[in-house]
Homo-oligomer: A and B are copies of this chain.
Amino acid sequence: MQTRLSHFIAGESGIWRIRDMKVVSGDGLPTAAYLDIRPTPADTEATWTLRGVKSNDRYTTRTEKSMLQATQEGLGRPEATLAALIPIKKNDAWWLLTQDERREIFEERSNHTTIGLRYLPAIARSLFHCRDLGLPEAFDFLTWFEFAPQHEADFNHLLSELRASPEWEFVEREVDIRLER
């Protein structure tokens, strides 16, 4: 059985150079120079490690998924030399909502998938879940994005749209980490 777990390891070496780290809300993370992504934990001491699992869709409908699959591109494109790691923690009020209430805020009121679709295929994205790893984790999700330098302004605009949405009223911790390969 293959693990769906990834470790985002910040420290003195790694494939990705950390260009910038900005606290959007809540506590930040210690400064580090490089980041590696691996299925296993760091061999040596890391500045910090964030863990997350790829999992099943939580809100996406089949119609939305078909639209995403028709236009999205995968990670690792040679031209996508920039990346962003954005760990997010939502508050207790969010997690106490029922599924229909969370879906309504996520899509019907915040257009999360609809907004994301407009930036495809330029922005490639992958989502990792931390909330149910068993031990208390600092974040609920890790979002990872890859794009070419000419799409960085588009990516910033995508984030502005999402951060202005009703869904983001439930975000209590968010760090915006920018990287370059």
Contact = CB atoms under 8 A, between A and B. Distances in A.
A43 interface: no
Contacts of A1: 136
Given A132-B132, A133-B134, A134-B5, A95 B62 contact: no
B99 A132 contact: no
The complex is assembled from copies of this chain, and their number is: 2
Interface string A38-68: 0000000000000101011111111011000
Interface of A: 1-3, 5, 51, 53, 55-62, 64-65, 95-103, 129, 131-136
A99 B59 contact: yes
Contacts of A103: 99
Contact of A98 (B5, B60, B135): B60
Contact of A134 (B3, B95, B98): B3
Nearest to A5: B134
Contacts of A53: 132, 134
A57 B132 contact: no
A55 B97 CA distance: 12
A127 to B, nearest CB: 12
B3 A135 contact: yes
A169 B96 CA distance: 30
Given A2-B136, A56-B102, A62-B98, 8 more contacts: A1-B136, A51-B134, A56-B96, A57-B99, A59-B99, A60-B99, A62-B100, A62-B101
A110 B131 CA distance: 28
A14 B107 CA distance: 46
Contact of A99 (B5, B58, B129, B135): B58
